[in-house]
Amino acid sequence: MERRSRRSAAKVKTGCKTCKFRRVKCDEQRPNCLKCTSTGRQCDGYASLKQGFEVHIWNPGQGPAFQKTVSLLPGLDDSVRYLEFYHRCARPVLSGNFDNSFWSRTTLQMAFSEPAVRHALIALGYLHSTESGSLKHARSRFTAITESKTFLHHYNMSVKSLVDRMGQSNYKTEVGLVTCLLFVCMEFLRGNHQTAFTHLINGLNIITEREKKVRHDSVNSPLSSCSVDTSTTLTTFNISTLIEDELKPIFIRALTSAMLYGAVLDIRPYVTDLDLRHFEDLRFSNIREMELSAYEVRNHSILQSRYLGLKRHFYQVKVFTAKELGQKQLVLDCQQAWYAATEHYRNTHALTKSDELVIQALLIGHYITYIWLLCQLDPTAMAIDAYLDEFQTVLLYCERILDSMDLDTPQHAARFTFEISLIPALYSVALRCRCPVTRRKAVALLQRNPPREGLWDVATHLLVAKRVIEMEEVEVDERGWPVERTRLWNVGVNADMDRKGGFWAYFTPNEELKKTVEEGRPLSKAEFLHV
């Protein structure tokens, strides 16, 4: 009788060692796959990288062409798998249109020659492989002080390597700035907002000091700012453009995330004065220019809104000076000029679907910050009704972007992105818009659960948004819209969530802002909520 042999299965080229040996499809969960652990087997982990994992050194003199290829393997032992995880899984979800070059190219290039960046990338890769992306999960680990030895080792090694590197004569500012951005990202992912903001300000201070030095050197020796130290491994980068065109814009944009989240930061040293004539003369030649100017005017809008709001709330100012109102109008005019330039670009260029989504994401930020500033001094919180069409446009654009995402496919990396786009906007519509249909549409879009954006977590802000709607709609008019008496002027969320998902939220009724100084400061209602 012929002996039947076992049918040969295709060779498994990815996955853990155990699944490869068993010739079964691995789900590639990190650090241990569910295929093994769910069946009681011991997962033997993942093999080290093969020589196929490579990164390219870019030569600016040859434009975008790749000059040569180098392996990242030497001296990295088993931790290299987290560098691979960053490259294959974390990088695609971290990077957006605006910062794709940084996450996909600059970090990996610099990691080859700079230990500080390399260890930071390994730590970030490890975090992405072990975090779910939810703020509750991140805070449960952070507050319990149960961080992995692997993460802490590479985090601390990155700090040590950076300190050592700064003491060397050929140290370049770019190394510190790239490492600093990776620290900001890691602390965002961990839910450690205070340390993240500290790293952010430190990076901005480095940029500010460097700009002062460049200006001083250019006055004393016009050629000095163009010199390049050829003894450093970073000569493959165009030093000036790396900071000005890539790193500085990411820091400036990260300020938006911090300010929208409620961080108490003095950002005035890091933003330039707005020039209305510049914005009126804008004619974008590409979307990158559109993005850079959008973030510039958006930061001014947020800064001005917070300034006026704080004076109303904490100092109970009812009348503002002509200078203050003039500054507000300047920002609004620049916003309008940016919008006009953007519409001109849309009408005069053939745009791909991807291009259109990028522009719509910028318009979402424009509408939200413009309306916020425009209606900031309204004593009734009802003037915002005039912008219902704009709110609905925001929701339309948000829905299109959500439709373009693959939200249902499980991800190996944390559901987290460094870029803010949808969550603050949807949260703002749910809070500010009185129309019950429109604000519930915003809630429904949040419930589609997009990835966490920096510190902006869906579960937290969805819970607060629902509570605001409940509080405001305790009394409604004949249309079902909340009346002026029940409107909330401000809602604050305490970022220090406990390990069980509990946090404080503060609701300030609009009626409280009508108090005089003699009647006392406006009072907020505090509630402890759980996600």
pLDDT of residue 219: 65
Instruction: Give whole-number Cα distances, 61 to 64, 237, 240, in Å.
Output: 9, 9, 14
Bridge partners of 453, per DSSP, are: 417, 456
The pLDDT assigned to 98 comes to 83
All domains of the chain in start order, with CATH: 1-45 (4.10.240), 48-269 (no CATH), 271-377 (no CATH), 402-531 (no CATH)
Confidence of residue 237 (pLDDT cuts 50, 70, 90): very low
Q: What is the mean pLDDT of residues 321-334?
A: 97
Listing DSSP states for 321-346 in one string gives -HHHHHHHHHHHHHHHHHHHHHHHHH
Average pLDDT over residues 67-91: 70
Listed in sequence order, the residues at least 6 apart from 502 whose beta carbon sits closer than 8 Å to its beta carbon are 528, 529, 530
pLDDT tens per residue, range 360-417: 999 999 999 999 999 999 888 899 999 999 999 999 999 999 999 988 877 788 999 9
Query: Please, which pLDDT band fits residue 241 given cuts at 50, 70 and 90?
Result: confident
pLDDT grade for 37, boundaries at 50, 70 and 90: low
The pLDDT of residue 40 = 58
Quick one: average pLDDT of 507-511? Answer: 92
pLDDT of residue 212: 81
Q: Lowest mean pLDDT of 9-23, 108-122, 246-260, 508-522, name the range.
A: 9-23
Residue 63's pLDDT band, with cuts at 50, 70 and 90, is: very low
Name the H helices within 105-192. Answer: 107-113, 115-130, 135-143, 149-166, 173-190
- pLDDT-based confidence at 22, cuts 50/70/90? low
Q: What is the pTM assigned to this prediction? A: 0.82
Query: Tokens 């993240």 sit at which residue?
Result: 196
3-state percent breakdown (helix, strand, coil) of the chain, nearest 5 = 60, 5, 35
Predicted local confidence at residue 447, as pLDDT: 98
Residue (of 141, 121, 191) closest to 452 by Cα position:
191
CA 211 to CA 213: how far, in whole Å?
Answer: 5
Is the Cβ–Cβ distance between 47 and 55 less than 8 Å?
no
* Strand ranges, E, within 369-457: 416-417, 452-453
119: three-class secondary structure by DSSP = helix
What does the DSSP assignment read for 216-261? HHHHH-TTGGG---TTSGGGGS-HHHIIIIIIHHHHHHHHHHHHHT
Higher model confidence: residue 377 or residue 226?
377
Exposed e or buried b per residue across 133-170, where buried means at least 16 C-beta atoms within 10 angstroms of its C-beta: bbbbbbbbbbeeeeeeebbeebbebbeebbeebeeeee
At 30, is the pLDDT very low, low, confident or very high (cuts 50, 70, 90)?
low
**Average pLDDT, integer, range 153-164:** 95
CA distance 345 to 348: 5
Does 97 or 507 have the greater pLDDT score? 507
Backbone angles phi, psi at 76, to 5 degrees: -105, -5
Q: Which of 40, 38, 48, 39 is nearest to 17 (CA)?
A: 48
Q: Note the pLDDT tens digit of each residue in 439-485.
A: 999 999 999 999 999 999 999 999 999 999 999 999 999 999 999 99
Task: Write the DSSP symbol of residue 78.
Answer: G
Handedness of CA 93, 182, 100, 110 (dihedral sign): negative
Q: pLDDT-derived band of residue 61, with 50, 70 and 90 as boundaries?
A: very low
- The token duo for 512 is 């409280």
φ and ψ at 509, to 5 degrees? -65, 145
The pLDDT assigned to 221 comes to 59
Considering 84-88, 92-96, 178-182, 202-206, the range whose residues carry the highest mean pLDDT is 178-182
Kind of pairing between the strands at 525-530 and 488-493 = unpaired
Give the Å distances, CA to CA, from 146 to 103, 104, 107.
27, 30, 27
